[in-house]
Amino acid sequence: MQVAPISFDRYNDLADAEAQQRISAARARLGKRAVLLCHHYQRADVYRHADITGDSLKLSRLAAQSSAEFIVFCGVHFMAEVADILSRPEQIAILPDLAAGCSMADMANRAKVERCWRELAAVITPDEQVTPVTYINSAADLKAFCGEHGGIVCTSSNATKILEWSFAQRQKVLFFPDQHLGRWSGHQMGIPLEQMPVWNPDLELGGLSPEQIRDAKIILWNGYCSVHQMFQPAHILRFRNEHPDGLVISHPECSFEVCRQSDYVGSTETILKTVKDGAPGSRWLVGTELNLVERLAEEVRSEGKTVQFMSPTVCMCSTMQRIDPQHLAWCLESLADGQVVNRISVPAHEAAAAKLSLERMLAVS
C-alpha cells in the first residue's frame, strides 16, 4: 500500500539549523538520483546546497544532460516548467514550493495573448506579419503559443539575435511579457522608440491606434520585473558623483533610462563575468537582484573590488525567497522516502509546442 506524502505543515516550525542538517542527510540518501539547481537569485541558505548554479535556461539544459532521476529546481515556476520540457521522459522536475512564481511572467497569460492576437487581426494579419517572441520568463503555454504561431523564445543574453531572426521571418514582432528587455534589445538594433509602442492588455487594441500598430516594428507587452523597476537614473547619478571612476552594470530588465546610463548592460551571467573580469580595485554599481549582488561582492572582495547594490532600498525576488530550507528539507526527505511532492509536469501537447519554440531559439543562438 502506498504511503501518503508527508504534509509540509510538520516542517513549518523547523529551526533553520535543523533544516540544514536534514537537507544534507536527505541529499546523502538520494545520492546522484537527485540534482539540485539554484538560480543566481536564490537565497544564500538554499544556494549553499546547489549542485549547479546559473540562469534558468543553463540550469535546465545541464540538468537534462545529467543522469539524475529528480531535478529539484530552486527557482520559480516557469524555470521548473522549462526543466520539465527539456528533460528526458524519465526525469521528474520538482519545485520545492509551488508558491514560488514570477510576477512578471504572470503579467501575460495565454487568454490575454490570444485576445491580443485576435485584435491585431482587425488591423493587420498577424500570422503573416507578426512573429511572437516570448521571454523565457513566461509560462509554458505562452511558449507553446509561440511554437504554434511560428514564434520563438528568447533570453536576456540572446534577445537581440532572436529579434534579428524574427524580423527575417516577418516584418513585426509581438514581444512579451517584459517590455524593458524588448525595448532595450530593439534600441540596440537601431529601432526608434516610437516604433516600439506598448500594448496594454486591459484596453481595446492595447490602447493603440490602428496607425500605431501598422507603423510598429516591435509591439511591447505591458509587463515588467518589480525588482528591476526599483533602480532609477538618480541612483546612477549619485554613484557617479561620489565615484567618478566607478562603473555601472545593469540587467536589461531595468528601465530604458537606467540601461542607457549604464556602462554595461547584460544578463545575470554577463554581469557576473564582467565584474569578475574587471580590473583589481575597481568599483561597481550593479542593477540586479540583491542575493546575486551580495554574493558577487563577497567573491571579488579579495581583489580589492567593491560591488554596490544600485538601490538604497533592499529588494529581493520575493517569490523566489519562498523556497526556504524548510521547504527544501521537506521536498528532499519526501523524495528519499519514495514520495514525489510538488512535481511540475507540463501537458504533453503543450510541452511539444513549447519545446518547438525553445529549439528554434537554441538553433538560432
User: 3-state class of 165 per DSSP?
Assistant: helix
- Given phi > 0 = left and psi -120 to 50 = alpha, else beta, which region is 205? left
Q: What is the pLDDT of residues 177-220, one digit of tens each?
A: 999 999 999 999 999 999 999 999 999 999 999 999 999 999 99
- C-alpha cell read off for 110: 495565454
pLDDT-based confidence at residue 316 (cuts at 50, 70, 90)? low
pLDDT-based confidence at residue 283 (cuts at 50, 70, 90)? very high
Tell me the average pLDDT of the chain. 95
- Give Dmax (Cα) for the chain: 69
Q: What is the pLDDT of residues 110-133, one digit of tens each?
A: 999 999 999 999 999 999 999 999
What is the rounded average pLDDT of the residues 4-23? 89
Right CATH number for 8-102+320-346 from 3.90.1150.10, 3.30.420.40, 3.40.50.10800, 3.40.1160.10?
3.40.50.10800
pLDDT-based confidence at residue 315 (cuts at 50, 70, 90)? low
What is the rounded average pLDDT of the residues 242-260? 98
Output the pLDDT for position 1. Answer: 32
- C-alpha cell read off for 339: 514520495
User: Given a cut of 80, is residue 272 above it in pLDDT?
Assistant: yes
Angle separating helix axes 77-86 and 348-364, nearest 10 degrees: 90
What is the rounded average pLDDT of the residues 139-158? 97
User: Given a cut of 60, is residue 44 above it in pLDDT?
Assistant: yes
Distances in whole angstroms, Cα of residue 248 to Cα of each of 157, 189, 262, 286, 309: 18, 22, 5, 6, 10
What is the rounded average pLDDT of the residues 309-317? 80
d(CA 311, CA 286): 9
User: 3-state class of 155 per DSSP?
Assistant: coil
Output the pLDDT for position 31. Answer: 96
What ranges do the domains of the chain cover?
8-102+320-346, 105-225, 228-309
Q: Say which CATH topology domain 228-309 has.
A: Rossmann fold (3.40.50)
Percent of the chain predicted with pLDDT > 90: 89
Do 8-102+320-346 and 228-309 come out as alike in CATH topology? yes
pLDDT-based confidence at residue 3 (cuts at 50, 70, 90)? low
What is the rounded average pLDDT of the residues 333-340? 96
What is the rounded average pLDDT of the residues 131-152? 97
Q: Is the peptide bond before 177 cis (omega within 30 degrees of 0)?
A: yes
User: 3-state class of 242 per DSSP?
Assistant: helix
> Which residues, including other chains, have CB under 8 Å from residue 279's CB and lie 6 or more apart?
none
What class does CATH assign to 105-225? alpha beta
User: Given a cut of 50, is residue 58 above it in pLDDT?
Assistant: yes
What is the rounded average pLDDT of the residues 144-152? 98
Given CA atoms 41, 46, 52, 57 in this order, what sign does their dihedral have? negative
The residue ranking higher by pLDDT, 226 or 343, is 343
- What single-letter amino acid sits at 317? C
Output the pLDDT for position 174. Answer: 98
Q: Would you state the torsion angle of the CA atoms of residues 339, 343, 347, 348, taken in this order, to the nearest 10 degrees?
A: -70
What is the rounded average pLDDT of the residues 81-102? 95
What is the rounded average pLDDT of the residues 53-60? 89
DSSP class of 253: T
Output the pLDDT for position 12. Answer: 87
Output the pLDDT for position 313. Answer: 78
What is the rounded average pLDDT of the residues 326-342? 96
Output the pLDDT for position 336. Answer: 96
